[in-house]
């Protein structure tokens, strides 16, 4: 797929943002559409009367993109500082901002100087996607065992059926006692937008009785495939279906000639352990936050209330 000028991945495309945050996303552009110098896109939401700048649901990162320059390190860093500082200066009025920076954006110092706080998070990535033998050698024993077990009883289907996938996806949230943070309408809207760019694939692991054991949603841009969503039937979780689908998605990414498979890592320990089992490399990224006066007062009041209840 072709990326829009001034963007670096699928999650920064205007069609993606319009699908996940219709009419609620904002675009800061330095330069022109034909000659962009920097760009930052994110969603604007009202939460408890507060105006918040956030990344939309199902959108793991939100840039920003910068047109870098050649030259000495001091020159490159000065240019980066100027562009990031200008982007921050153009942020719309807000009470709170919380965004995940793209993993390529490792320099968060200009945000620190602008009053942001930072937390390091991690995803896992695989490269060398065309060398299946090398990838397989890197898998943990339990992952290999699950895949071998699943291949004996299950087949993998690629079917463009968001409703079928969402049914499995919801079951996973229900098993954890949670509601899904998005509805079927959003998944269908996102699928329709991505399908126009050949950027989304649904995988299903099915047994001989026609039962769906698990489902997986893969999206990709010109370089990277992303594991976006997954789901499994809680009563059929021991079949190894989820490992089989992940392996199928990795091979699909390789077949498309992509360079990287991104597991879109989780900070939840069991999920991190599952991703790590595929031999992927840990990659850090930054979560940046900044609270305005109204938000700080609300958070302080909440702390006082909690302290009072704890006495």
Distances (CA, A) of 197 to 104, 191, 194, 231, 278: 24, 10, 5, 24, 28
**CA 239, CA 64: separation in Å to the nearest integer?**
41
The domain made up of 10-121+285-310 has a fold known as: Aminopeptidase (3.40.630)
The ranges assigned to domains in the chain are 10-121+285-310, 129-258
CA nearest 41: which of 51, 32, 29? 29
CA nearest 228: which of 77, 28, 9? 9
The domain made up of 129-258 has a fold known as: Aminopeptidase (3.40.630)
* Lowest-confidence region among 148-162, 197-211, 259-273, 288-302: 288-302
**Percent of the residues in the chain that have a pLDDT greater than 70, as a whole number:** 98
**CA 266, CA 257: separation in Å to the nearest integer?**
26
Flag whether pLDDT at 56 surpasses 60: yes
**CA 103, CA 109: separation in Å to the nearest integer?**
15
Residue 153: Cβ within 10 Å count = 15
Helix (H, G, I), strand (E, B) or coil at 264: coil
- Residue 1 has a pLDDT of 84
Going by pLDDT thresholds of 50, 70 and 90, the confidence category of residue 266 is confident
Same fold, 10-121+285-310 and 129-258: yes
Tell me the backbone φ, ψ of residue 73, rounded to 5 degrees: -55, -40
**In this structure, what token pair is assigned to residue 16?**
């993606």
- Residue 308 has a pLDDT of 65
What is the pLDDT averaged over residues 146-162? 98
- Residue 265 has a pLDDT of 74
E-assigned strands of 48-116? 50-54, 65-66, 96-100
Going by pLDDT thresholds of 50, 70 and 90, the confidence category of residue 307 is low
Flag whether pLDDT at 261 surpasses 60: yes
Flag whether pLDDT at 310 surpasses 60: no
**CA 154, CA 173: separation in Å to the nearest integer?**
23
| The model's pTM | 0.93
Q: Which residue has the higher pLDDT, 56 or 299?
A: 56
Going by pLDDT thresholds of 50, 70 and 90, the confidence category of residue 20 is very high
CB contact at 8 A, 214 and 232: yes
The mean of the pLDDT values for the chain is 94
Q: Which residue has the higher pLDDT, 210 or 175?
A: 210
Give the angle 31-285-84 at the CA atoms, nearest 5°: 25
Going by pLDDT thresholds of 50, 70 and 90, the confidence category of residue 188 is very high
50 burial (CB, 10 Å; 0-12 / 13-18 / 19+) is middle
For 282-300, the pLDDT digits (tens) are 999 999 999 988 887 777 7
What is the pLDDT averaged over residues 95-104? 96
What is the pLDDT averaged over residues 99-119? 96
305 burial (CB, 10 Å; 0-12 / 13-18 / 19+) is exposed
């Amino acid at each position: 797929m072709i990326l829009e000028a001034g963007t670096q991945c699928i999650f920064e495309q205007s069609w993606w943002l319009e699908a996940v945050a219709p009419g609620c996303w904002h675009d800061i552009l330095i330069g022109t559409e034909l000659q962009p110098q920097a760009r930052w896109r994110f969603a604007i939401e009202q939460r408890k009367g507060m105006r918040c700048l956030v990344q939309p649901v199902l959108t793991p990162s939100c840039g920003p993109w910068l047109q870098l320059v050649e030259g000495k390190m001091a020159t490159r860093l000065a240019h980066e500082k100027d562009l990031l500082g200008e982007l921050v200066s153009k942020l719309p009025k807000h009470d709170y901002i919380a965004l995940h920076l793209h993993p390529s954006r490792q320099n968060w110092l200009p945000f620190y100087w602008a009053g942001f706080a930072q937390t390091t998070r991690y995803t896992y990535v695989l490269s060398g996607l065309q060398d299946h033998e090398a990838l397989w050698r890197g898998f943990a024993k339990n992952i290999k065992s699950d895949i071998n077990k699943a291949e004996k009883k299950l087949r993998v289907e690629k079917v463009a059926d968001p409703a079928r996938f969402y049914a499995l996806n919801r079951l996973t949230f229900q098993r954890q006692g949670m509601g899904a943070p998005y509805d079927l309408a959003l998944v269908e809207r996102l699928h329709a937008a991505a399908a126009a760019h050949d950027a989304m694939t649904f995988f299903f692991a099915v047994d001989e009785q026609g039962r769906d054991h698990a489902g997986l949603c893969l999206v990709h841009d010109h370089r990277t495939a992303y594991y976006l969503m997954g789901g499994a039937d809680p009563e059929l979780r021991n079949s190894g279906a989820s490992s089989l689908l992940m392996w199928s998605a990795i091979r699909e990414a390789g077949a498309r000639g992509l360079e990287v498979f991104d597991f879109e890592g989780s900070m939840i320990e069991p999920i991190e352990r599952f991703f790590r089992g595929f031999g992927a490399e840990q990659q850090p990224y930054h979560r940046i936050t900044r609270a305005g006066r109204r938000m700080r007062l609300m958070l302080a009041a909440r702390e006082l209330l909690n302290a009072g209840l704890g006495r």
